[in-house]
Each structure stands twice: as structure tokens, then as C-alpha cells.
Structure 1
Amino acid sequence: MRKGLLCLLAVGLVMGLLLAGCSTESALEQEEKKPDQDVTIGLSISTLNNPFFVTLRDEAKKTAEKEGVELIVADAQNDTAKQINDVEDLMEKNVDLLLINPTDSKAVSTAVESANQSDIPVITIDREAEGGKVVSHIASDNVKGGEMAGEFILNEIGGEGNLVELQGIAGTSAARDRGKGFHEAVDGKKDVKVVASQPAGFDRAEGLKVMENILQSHSDIQAVFAHNDEMALGALQAIRSAGKDILVVGFDATDDAVEAVNKGEMGATIAQKPGEIGKIAVRVAAEAAQGEKVKEFYPVQLELITEK
């Protein structure tokens, strides 16, 4: 009887070890079969020929490394057709989510809709898309920024004088909204007149050229508002060459512009904090790519930068 009991215990022990072995192997197999948690994000940026977007890109890359996600960057070079092709290329690389900084808010709708059809979430940064479904938008309040610039100019010129507006790329939400805020601040003022509003493509060389032409047509100008710092710096160069003393206000707070402000060469610039936009964009993208709920809009605070 005792011998039989010992045999049963021995068999039970062996069976237990075998089951434990099978259980361990099954757990290992399950671990190996867990879904891949790696996230790949595609970033289509309007241009890297602008310090603002270089800063945005650089901070996005740093944040991607910290978050453990892969970031693939494509430079559209301010070419709408190239951006649409870039987005298609990123989709073919099986990105989990697209971050898009539109070259043109209306034209980019085609790319957004294409991503929608492929079930790839899209987040826009700095500039909005006019069509397609976007899960979130990350940007500063450009209308408020334009208004801040206009109010600063009015205060500096004593509420009277002729103004010039250098507009960004037509079709971008940034240009539209900054211009809207500026005009809300200055239009209707009895002794203030905007004598010229011309596009200069968010570009320094173009800002120089356009401002030179404006100065030939209008000799009496008190202030210039440029939709970005690159155009503001171009305008400043034209003003210097003409031997004029005109207040210049830009937008973006790039390093060159802040330096010009601190030297007293530019009156002010609106700090939009591109690094913060890039950082928030990647963090929100990583969350959205993994199915987490994100907010429709993440505002980034603005700041008026004047001489220290």
C-alpha cells in the first residue's frame, strides 16, 4: 500500500514538472507573439530653408528619441506637389501616423484625404488643412499673434502713420490668420493707413525685394509688419539700404530676429516657440498612434519679444 502511494506521488511530481515546463514555454511563446509596440511617425514639413522649421524639426527628433519612436522627416521645399508626393512616400513606408505642416492649407487636403483612406491618422502642425479628417492640430493662435503685433505697432508710432504688411505664402492658414489679427488691430483707426499689403513668400530674399519696391512707391512709412521673421529681416535690409528709419515687427522669434531686436534694429517679434510645437507634436502623435485619445487642439503660448 505504502509502495503504491509512493509511486502515485512520484508520478504526480513528474506530471507537475512537465506541466510547469509546458506553462513556462507557453508563456515564452506568448511573450514572443506580443504585438510590436514600435511606433513610426512621418513628418512632412513645408520647408527646412527657414530657421523656424529647422528648430521645430530638431526638437521633434530629440523628443522622438526620448519617447522611443522612429521619426521620418520629409522636406517639401515649399512645393505643394512635392509635399503630396512626400506624404504618399511616407505612407508606403508604413508609418503609423502623419504629422503634416502644410505648404498650402487647401492643396494639402488631397494628401490628408489619401491618409484617411488608408486609415493613417493625421495631425497638422503650425498650419491647418482645409480638407480631410485631422485628429489634432498643434499651433499658436496666429490671429492673436497678429493682433499683438498690430497693437505694439500702434503704441510705438503713437497711433498714427502709414503701415506696410508683408504677407506670407498665399493659401497658408498662418498667413491668413496673422493678417487677420493684424488688421483687426489697426483697421478703422482714424490716423492709421495700411498703404501696402504684398506677399513675400515667408522668404528673406523675397522680403528684401518686395520691400525695395514698396519703398520706391511709398516714401513716408512708419512701420512694417511681416508675417514671419525671414521677411522682416529682408525688409530691414531694404530699409537700411534706403537710409530709412522704420519700425519693423516680425513673427516667430528666430535667433537672427531676436538678435536684431536686442540690437535695436527690429522693434519686436512674436515668439511662437517652434521647439515646443515640435515636442508636443511628437508626444501627441505617439499617443494617437497607439490608440489613445488626444485633444483636437493643443495651443502653444505666444510671447511678444522686445529689446531687453
Structure 2
Amino acid sequence: MKRRTALLGAALAVGALALTGCDRGGNTDLGLALSTMNNPFFVGIKKGAQAEADARGLHINITDAQNDPMQQINQMETFTSQQVKAAIINPVDSDAAVPAVGVANRAKVPVISIDRGVNGGQVGSTIASDNVAGGRLAAKTLAEALGGKGKVAFLEGQPGTSAARERGQGFEEGIKQYPGIEVVARQPADFDRTKGMDVMSNMLQAHRDIGGVFAANDEMALGASKALGARAGKDVKVVAFDGTPDGVGAVRAGTLTATVAQQPELLGKQAVDWALKAARGERLPRTVKVPVVLVTAANAARFGG
């Protein structure tokens, strides 16, 4: 009797998995096209998505576009040829990703975007951190660290991405609440550490009296800190965004004042969950916002790094 009960339970589990997987065939259940894996944040998304797929007994094909929009088109074509149940895209560029989404749309493969939105095509839902709220929180943190007055620089993210635009929007809205703060320099550094160092070096040549920096991700902040040298975190306050292990480590070391932490593994996990809902034809919200958390020296130990 126990054996029959166990076999029935196993059969029900397999049936549930089949329903979760929906009706499309093929050996690959989901596709995840990441913009790059040369960034700890996106590695975290990959880790979360893979863990969730494994927990559900699904096979996920995770690809690296190396920041090339054309590669994302090719990768989406691969996903559709594998007859995936749903595709997840982390756009290199919110405009340039439209043709990639179109590939999936024509093959009637549901699409979910993660971290960055897509400016066209049919996307079931966008799973992203609350970047606008995070930008406001960064502005408040930087302004308070400066005592409400001083000159600051803003290292913007990769142009054309919704994450860069939304973080910038939040920061600008937040910093306006502090009339004693003046943004004297702003320039994109493409979410890249080396570019962050170069851009910060150029800014310092023109504005040696900068007292604060907001960088729209940890990588740029770490580059900016290198350019600032011994001034970083001391007479120049640096606030970042992402909460990567390197970023949190820099907060603990004192070279970053704070970082607005995203939860990349949770983003990856939720993207898999919502992709499966899309595959089942469920109605989805246009956006799913994942909360951000401020990491400072007082709580950094909880975040590792």
C-alpha cells in the first residue's frame, strides 16, 4: 500500500511539472538572455534564475550577449528553435532589444524582461528593482552625508537602458530637495568600472572641490573611488547602487559611503516564476518591482562582501 501511495505521489508530481511546463515541446524549458556576465550583478541574476529552475526541475538556457544587441537577436532565435516555453531578456539596450523581442513574438513565445525594460514589442511583464525609489534614496543618503550642502558629481549608467534612466530620474528628484547641493558634473560611464575611473578622473580635473559622488552602479563607484584615491569615502562621499559583494566590501572598508542594494538573486528567481506564469497564459502586471535596501557601514556585515 505504501509503495502504491509513493508511486501515485510521484505520478502527481510529474503531472504538476508537465502543467508548469505548459504545452510547448523541446528539451529546453526557458531561455534567459543576459546583457553581460562581466558584472557581478548579472552573475547574481543568473544564479537566482538557475536555482529556481533547478528547484522546479526545469532546464534553462542562460546566454551572455557581451553587451551586443545583435547577439541577443541571435540568442532569441536559438530559444525559439529550442521551442522554449518562455523567454527572459535582460536588454543590452531598451530600444535595440525590440527586434529580439519581435523574434519571440512571431514564434508566439511569451517574453519577460528583467532589470531593464524594452521599448516595444510584446513583453508580458518587466521584473526590476524600484530604481526610481533607489535613486531618491541615494540622493537623500548623499545629501545627508554632506550635511545638506556641497558640490557633487553624477556618474550615469549606460545610455538607452531603463535602469540608467530611472535611477537618474530618482536621483534628480531627490537631490532637488536639498538646495544647498549643486550637481556640477554628470556623465555616463556605462556601468563599467574602468570607465568610472576615467570619467571621475576627468571630472576632478575640472572640479577639484567635488565633495560627493553618486554612481548609478557599484562598478562605476569602485572605479571612481580608485580615481579619488585616499579621498574616497573621507572628504569625498561616494554613494553607489547595486549591493554587489565588491560594493558591500567597499562600504565595509570605508571607501564607499553607502550602496543602494538590489537583490539580483531574487530578481532571477522571480523572473523564472513570472515567465512560467506567462507560459500558462496568465494575466501579468506590466511591472513587478523588487524593493531595494540601503547598505551602510552600520549594517554592511549582514550583506557579506
Tell me which amino acid in the other structure corresponds to 1:265.
T
Provide the secondary structure at the position in 2 that maps to 1:137: strand
Residue 92 of structure 2 corresponds to 103
Are 1:233 and 2:238 counterparts? no
Report 1:54-73 matches (<5 A). 54-73=43-62
Are 1:281 and 2:277 counterparts? no
Residue 260 of structure 2 corresponds to 270
Are 1:126 and 2:115 counterparts? yes
Task: Give the one of 145, 153, 175 matched to 1:156.
Answer: 145
Q: Per-residue CA shift, 1:111-161, capped at 9, x if unaligned? A: 112211211100010100010111111111111100000011111101111
TM-score, L = length of structure 2: 0.86
Residues in 1 aligned to 2:138 and 2:105: alpha-carbon distance in whole angstroms: 37
Residue 252 of structure 1 corresponds to 242
Residue 9 of structure 2 corresponds to none
Change (3 A) 1:224 1:89: same
Residues in 2 aligned to 1:126 and 1:273: alpha-carbon distance in whole angstroms: 11
**Unmatched 5+ stretches in structure 2:** 1-14, 299-305
**Unmatched 5+ stretches in structure 1:** 1-30
Percent identity among equivalent residues? Answer: 46
Residues in 2 aligned to 1:179 and 1:205: alpha-carbon distance in whole angstroms: 20
Residues in 1 aligned to 2:118 and 2:283: alpha-carbon distance in whole angstroms: 20
Task: Give the one of 176, 187, 198 matched to 2:176.
Answer: 187
Are 1:48 and 2:37 counterparts? yes
Residue 203 of structure 1 corresponds to 192
- Maintained 8 Å contact 2:225/2:238: yes
Residues in 1 aligned to 2:217 and 2:196: alpha-carbon distance in whole angstroms: 10
Q: Per-residue CA shift, 1:41-85, capped at 9, x if unaligned? A: 110001000000001101111110111111001101111222222
TM-superposed CA distance for 1:191, in Å, is 2.1
Q: Per-residue CA shift, 1:5-57, capped at 9, x if unaligned? A: xxxxxxxxxxxxxxxxxxxxxxxxxx9xx967876111000100000000110
Residues in 2 aligned to 1:269 and 1:241: alpha-carbon distance in whole angstroms: 19
Q: CA RMSD in A?
A: 2.0
Larger Rg belongs to:
1
Tell me which amino acid in the other structure corresponds to 2:235.
D
